[in-house]
Amino acid sequence: MLWFVIIGVLLALLYYKTIKPILYWKGRGVVYKKSYPIVGSLGIVLFQRRPFFNYVIDLYREFSNERYFGVYQFGKSALYIRDLDLIKKVAVTDFNHFTDHNSFTPTEFDPHIKRSMINLEGQRWRDMRATLSPSFTSNKMKIMFNLLSECAEDFTDYFDNQAKNIHEIEMKDIFTRFTNDAIATTAFGLKCNSVQNNNDEFYLMARKVTNVKGLTFLVFLMYILFPNISRLRMTSQSVSNFFRRIIKETIRQREKENFFRPDMIHLLMEARKGTNTNEEACLPDTGFATAEESNLIRLHNQKKIELSDDDIAAQVLLFIFGGIDTTSALLSFTAYELAINPSIQESLQNEVDDTLSDCNGKLTYEVLNKMKYMDMVISETLRKWPPGFQNDRICVKDYTIEPLNSLEKPLLIEKGTLILFPVSGIHHDPQYFPNPEVYDPERFNDENRNNIKPCSYIPFGVGPRNCIASRFALMESKVLMFHLLSKFNITRIERTPVPLKIAQATINFVAEGGFWLGLEPRMLPKYSFWLNQIMLWFLIIGIICLIVYYKAIKPLSYWKDRGVACKNSYPIVGSFSTVLFQQQALFYYVKEAYQQFSKERYFGVHQFRKPALYIKDIELIKKVAIKDFDHFSDHSSFTPTEPDSLIRKSLINLHGQRWRDVRATLSPSFTSSKMKIMFQLVSECAQNFINYFEKQKIDTHEIEIRDVFTRFTNDAIATIAFGLKSNSVKNKNDEFYLMAKKATSVTRLRFFIFILYLVFPKISRFLKLQMTPSSVRNFFRQIIKETVRQREKEGLVRPDMIHLLMEARKGNVIKDETHLPDTGFATVEESNMIRSHKRNYIELSEEDMSAQAVIFIFAGLDTSASLMSFTAYELAINPKIQGRLQQEVDDTLSDCNGNLTYEALHKMNYMDMIISETLRKWTPGFQNDRICVKDYKIDPVHSWEKPLLIEKGTLVLLPIAGIHYDPQYFPNPEVFDPERFNDENKHSIEPFSYLPFGVGPRSCIASRFALMESKIIIFNLLSKFNIVRIQKTPDPIKIAKATLNFVAEGGFWLGLKRRIPS
């Protein structure tokens, strides 16, 4: 029976002591974490399966919808408070209900632990805090700054003096040694260097105090679980006596010798005298994370309290308990994050370097506290890895938490209840700090820091019982980081843990496996300038190489990557190096490229950096130029168009719908009936040309015939396009001719601008480079404007291009030439797309009219002169062909009684055959182009082909010269044979194998004019002269390489020999 009683009593004790307490919160209707007897809610931590830091975050997130929740910790019922407003009330507003901290160490058996401020309670704590508070202000930190800076310099010098490329070290260990030395010098007045001396006595004693593992951890658990029966000390008597003796001896010595040293013992001795005051208002504060002293302490009516040696010793010893491990943890996590985030480290090092430069290499307290990025980095470390990841209070008198919603009830917090603040949980809450796992110092920049919610960032606690030494911890950390980063890069090494995990087997806030990082020496500042210069040049060269690769080399593989046969290309010059370096005329280049890829339907080249596709197959040419014209509606512009609207508005440079409207508007001005209107004006120019030579009493005129033909085409364009009477054959210094030559001659400067525009169009536009001087353009613009205004004013009508353009502007030009013969076989018919175009009425301004007139000079002067020159040359080389043509000329003159008419000219079959053959063999338009305006697919025809996507913007080229010299279309292509175009043969010519004026809707609009002009001059010339070879006549003829103009090497030197009347 006795045993039953004993067992019953034991069970009752067990229930009331271990089971009933864990149901405390359930009985009060508070959500709570499941707890177990003895270990409460902390089993996962106590059995070392989860770090305490992570446990707090897990708890916080588990009760995400609650303002508070219950746990059973440390042998007590405890309430975690999540709600920021409630934290503020508990810690600040209603502080008098929550004035005390929970003690985690036995205080009864060690007076120094009992007397330390963290363990004081009630009024004694208020008096002590108010007494000590002035010792931790900004200006008191300045007093100790130099001592900390010396420790940091000793620390960095130790590694700097070792000749290693990289120091692989466990950072927590060396940072603990630094914080040990810092506390030794600032709190105990001792000079200590445990970084260099691994067996330093002070360091070894301090480690015994702070290293909670093994037996110390067991004592800690015993005190928490069974505080009433625990009589064990966490710190041995010998360790306590060691630090007590140092402090007492230091105080005695200083009092005896009146010795002053700017450290914590001095400040505490001053506090004992009551001479410490708050006087630092003018100094900058230590950082954003600084815990400000509360008004309760500032305004405290401080009684003079006696600070005994034991009191001073207790507060100094607290530095060891509260400062060595936490500050070394802050430094370790900061170093780790800088190693993992090198861009952040680089930004901080830049600030360090700038600061060193500004303070002439000597760091000061004021300068340190102006370092914004340093403060941002330390602040972010304290957010992500706060050493004080949980804060506590003891309820000292009953307190009621009022409900905020229908789900809550009033909660009475009883006196003695433990209150906990889950700091790490709050710091990792996305609603306060988005992407909380990301290390981002920018959260604390000037713009963002003011948006941080009050009480959401509390690394040093909150309210009157916050950390009194926050300024010291921040200064200590910044000083060391400054000196360390001034000389070293913190780097990842093989043993660096990624990701970082907190150790489970210790209460200390450390990484699993340690903080293994590397210290890599930085280049000294005196060498750094030259290194930076070298690196800058390497960077510039690297960037240039990348630009060259991506802009000049990579594009060269464009066609190869797409499986298209292509010509060899070179950076910048592309496939046209022989042309650009004037080793080969572009005319021959086109022919040879065409012949090189004889089996291909198309092949790729690079026009400088731009990929271009030559199309050889005439069926494919038909599709690109006509059937699928909407994909290839634009021409490439080879001249800068932006600087001057006269060039930009010309028909050849217009795009899209504007081109369609203008082409449809102008097209009726170039029909056969309109050519007839202008026929007489061109004939008059031709007659003036003949008269000039006929009047000279010379049997044979030896002339460079292209020069005189250029003057004739100049006079024809002047009278037709500008309404001017000009005779530049006779007047060598004719102003219109000189201006036209300036417009069309490709000088070296213009050739350079032309190349620059093709290679670097954006730069050319930016520089506003122009191939034609503005004075030339303004000259022609003024002529057109004056002529138009004069005709409108006086009602003058002259059958020329200006009249037709003025009629087009009015919408009066219509196509009415169906009954007239056309100009020749080479004539390009207007496309059905343009004929059937529903022409919108568009306003042709004087500038638009000027642009179309000026294009006659650019496109007509040089090309027509070339056609006439090659025709004359072939007639001189082939006298039989010339004789037959002269016979046709004589017969025609006879038939029209010596007065050539438009109709008679166009009945001359042999004349048309000769002009057609010249245009085949020496076509001025030996290459034609289109721009792909929307993606286009070429389907394969041969087995070796694949579908080819022509991308928008790709240049498409038609090799006219190559096609005209292809024996499958024109046998013996090098032979000048007009019979190819007789009535029997010309119908056998394959469609799209003869394209002297281009093909499709964007063919030459003025082909009729060019043919009429050429036939008229050749007719009149042959009626009076024989064209003969002279000594300077080139044979064979070669195209000039040194110019873009289509001319003979050395010139077209021929003779005009008077014919003897029959």
**Cβ pair 46, 223 in contact under 8 A:** no
Q: Which residues contact 514 (CB under 8 A, 6 or more apart)?
A: 170, 171, 172, 173, 495, 497
Q: Which residues contact 761 (CB under 8 A, 6 or more apart)?
A: 640
Where would I find the H helices in 795-938?
801-810, 832-835, 846-856, 862-877, 879-895, 902-905, 909-921
Cβ atoms within 10 A of the Cβ of 422, count?
25
Any idea of the CA torsion for 749, 755, 757, 759, to the nearest 10 degrees? -150
Distance CA 259, CA 890 (A): 132
**Cβ pair 963, 597 in contact under 8 A:** no
DSSP per residue, 33-61? ---BTTTBT-HHHHTTSS-HHHHHHHHHH
**Cβ pair 734, 726 in contact under 8 A:** yes
Cβ atoms within 10 A of the Cβ of 940, count?
11
Q: To 10 degrees, what angle do helices 846-856 and 774-794 make?
A: 120
- Which two three-digit tokens encode residue 356? 């060193």
Distance CA 294, CA 298 (A): 6
H or E segment to which residue 338 belongs: helix 325-340
H or E segment to which residue 134 belongs: none
Distance CA 522, CA 394 (A): 50
Distance CA 995, CA 916 (A): 10
Distance CA 894, CA 891 (A): 5
**Cβ pair 468, 133 in contact under 8 A:** yes
Q: To 10 degrees, what angle do helices 1007-1024 and 705-721 make?
A: 130
- Which two three-digit tokens encode residue 840? 């919108």
Q: To 10 degrees, what angle do helices 801-810 and 846-856 make?
A: 140
Report the DSSP beta bridge partners of residue 928. Answer: 958
Q: Give the DSSP letter of residue 860.
A: I
Distance CA 196, CA 592 (A): 80
Q: To 10 degrees, what angle do helices 470-487 and 342-358 make?
A: 90
Q: Which residues are annotated as a binding site for heme?
A: 467
Q: In 3D, which of 332, 345, 274, 240 has the Cα closest to residue 131?
A: 274
**Cβ pair 989, 969 in contact under 8 A:** yes
Sign of CA dihedral 266, 271, 272, 273: positive
Query: How far, CA to CA in Å, does 647 sit from each of 521, 642, 652, 806, 886?
Result: 63, 8, 9, 20, 41
The phi, psi pair for 92, rounded to 5°, reads -125, -65
Query: 201-210: buried (b, 16+ CB within 10 Å) or exposed (e) per residue?
Result: ebbebbbebb
Distance CA 463, CA 419 (A): 14
Total length of the chain: 1062
> The tokens 């090497």 sit on which residue?
1049
Q: Which residues are annotated as a binding site?
A: 467
Distance CA 926, CA 998 (A): 9
Distance CA 470, CA 386 (A): 13
Distance CA 732, CA 792 (A): 32
Q: Give the DSSP letter of residue 381.
A: H
